[in-house]
Amino acid sequence: MHRSAPRIARVLACAAVPVLLVAGCSSGSDSAKKPDGAGSGKTSASAAPAAAKFAKLPDACKSVTQATVGRLVPKVKSAAGTAAKSPVQDQRGGCSWNGLDGYQFRWLDVALQRFDSAGGVGSGEEQAKKRFTEQVAAAAQVKGATSVKADGVGDEATLVSALVEKDKLNYQDETVVARTGNVIVILSHNGAGFEGAKTPAADQLQKDALAAAKEAVASVTAANAAANT
């Protein structure tokens, strides 16, 4: 145990750094350079697309309940979560949680992205549909990954499951990519057993990830309903 403690500490240190919409960076778009849906500003009023359904994002660290965090991440390091830094918080947001219960490690991450409607770019929903397809494809690139449609999670959703080896440890990784209107929600939940402990069962992680993804999607609707009251 004493010899392996530094290795566990390194894994936890790396896991504590949230990544904001990782898959979104793989699309090759210039969305990181300018707000999504900024457009060229040269379109006519007649060509203007329909207004986006959602005008704001919820606080990613509050997109799932504390009860859910406690259930999915036993002995969570920070129940409040670690927010991802974003220069455009009305368009991108993220939060992550991690915890080590004995030799069982768990990670939970929520990433949100919202698209505005703009002439020359398309409606927010059209852009979100395109990004949804890109995100599913990016998540499914992991070796051995399998994907299935997830009913009842937003307007459309896909669950991608994979057993990933990293630092000589096996991580069971479950990623739910969902779209609700003009917003993309990506929820990742994974776990590993340290020091020879058993890798968590995929079916339980999948069940938990889907339930948490439903909460995150619902939080988008709730945040916008509150803004309109």
- Is residue 45 situated within a structural domain? no
Q: What is the pLDDT of residues 118-167, one digit of tens each?
A: 988 999 999 999 999 999 999 999 999 999 999 999 999 999 999 999 88
Q: Which domain holds residue 197?
A: 5-26+51-227
In a domain, 37, yes or no: no
Q: Token pair of 211, please?
A: 């339930």
Per the rule left: phi > 0, alpha: psi between -120 and 50, beta: everything else, 37 is: left
- pLDDT, position 10: 55
Q: Which residues contact 96 (CB under 8 A, 6 or more apart)?
A: 18, 19, 81, 82, 84, 107, 108, 109, 110
Torsion sign, CA atoms 190, 129, 223, 219:
negative
Predicted pLDDT of residue 90 = 85
Choice between 73 and 14, residue whose per-residue pLDDT is larger: 73
Percent of the chain beyond pLDDT 70?
79
pLDDT of res. 2: 40
In a domain, 151, yes or no: yes
Q: Is residue 32 part of a domain?
A: no
Query: At 30, is the secondary structure helix, strand, or coil?
Result: coil
Answer whether residue 41 is part of any domain. no
Distance CA 98, CA 96 (A): 7
Spatial contact of 188 and 173, defined as CB atoms under 8 Å apart: yes
User: Is 36 a member of any domain?
Assistant: no
pLDDT band at 182 (very low <50, low <70, confident <90, very high): very high
Is 144 within a domain? yes
Asked if residue 31 is part of any domain, the answer here is: no
- How do residues 22-63 score in pLDDT, each as one tens digit? 433 333 333 333 444 444 444 444 568 889 999 999 999 999
Instruction: Specify the number of domains making up the chain.
Output: 1
